[in-house]
């Protein structure tokens, strides 16, 4: 396991703040002598630091997929599988699969297919809770479209939640990408949507707990 580069500054700041709190906790203990309070506050400091560090963790994973497989782009839970009208890029009907990422999930985002990036656009927006039906179109988000070697295109969106305030993405138009490789990161609770062709084979169902880079979402025809 390693720590994502997006977490370096935040972890350092958290360490400084929590160290100051723990120093104050020590002086409080020296003043009043309440061991139970000192231990309780010390435990709270350790738990807070652990939560910050684990949010930016990147576990070691070895993905294995076939060329037409659609790879899960994020850790989380499948909360939506439905046919929708996609209005930003395709302007036609697509199968939407939405994955909700809690603050305890790994927040690295990975390419769902190999191919060439055809479209990248960042949208400012609201910060509705990530499971809200309008979060896909109204929240802060990034839309990316990749064209597979077979000509099929897949659209995927990073969507900020009520807590998240920063979406990071590292791809550009005309860039060649490989399935399961990192394309971005979302800080704190959020959601990732996949917009797939109507004839795509779907291998997950609502309620499934999925892993980025490891779970097969489906297959392109």
The residues annotated as belonging to the active site are: 190
Other C-beta atoms closer than 10 Å to the C-beta of 52 total: 17
Q: Which residues contact 194 (CB under 8 A, 6 or more apart)?
A: 70, 73, 96, 97, 98, 99, 112, 154, 155, 156, 217
Write out the two tokens for 216: 């097969």
Write out the two tokens for 172: 């550009």
Write out the two tokens for 84: 């929708």
Strand partners, 210: 76
Contact 186, 107 (CB under 8 A): yes
Distance CA 117, CA 181 (A): 13
The three-class DSSP label of residue 134 is coil
């Amino acid at each position: 396991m390693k720590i994502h580069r997006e977490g370096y500054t935040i972890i350092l700041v958290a360490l400084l703040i929590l160290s100051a709190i723990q120093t104050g906790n020590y002086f409080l203990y020296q003043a009043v002598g309440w061991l139970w309070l000192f231990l309780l506050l010390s435990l709270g400091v350790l738990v807070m630091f652990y939560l910050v560090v684990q949010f930016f963790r990147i576990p070691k994973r070895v993905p294995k997929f076939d060329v037409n497989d659609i790879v899960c782009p994020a850790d989380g839970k499948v909360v939506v599988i439905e046919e929708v009208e996609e209005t930003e890029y395709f302007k036609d009907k697509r199968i939407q699969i939405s994955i909700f990422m809690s603050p305890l999930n790994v927040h690295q985002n990975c390419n769902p297919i190999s191919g060439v990036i055809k479209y990248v656009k960042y949208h400012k927006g609201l910060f509705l809770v990530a499971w809200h039906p309008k979060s896909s179109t109204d929240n802060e988000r990034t839309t990316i479209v990749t064209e597979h070697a077979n000509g099929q295109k897949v659209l995927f969106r990073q969507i900020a939640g009520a807590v998240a305030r920063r979406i990071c993405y590292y791809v550009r138009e005309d860039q060649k990408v490989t399935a399961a490789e990192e394309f971005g990161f979302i800080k704190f609770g959020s959601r990732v949507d996949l917009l797939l062709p109507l004839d795509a084979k779907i291998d997950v169902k609502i309620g499934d707990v999925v892993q980025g880079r490891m779970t097969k979402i489906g297959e392109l025809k």
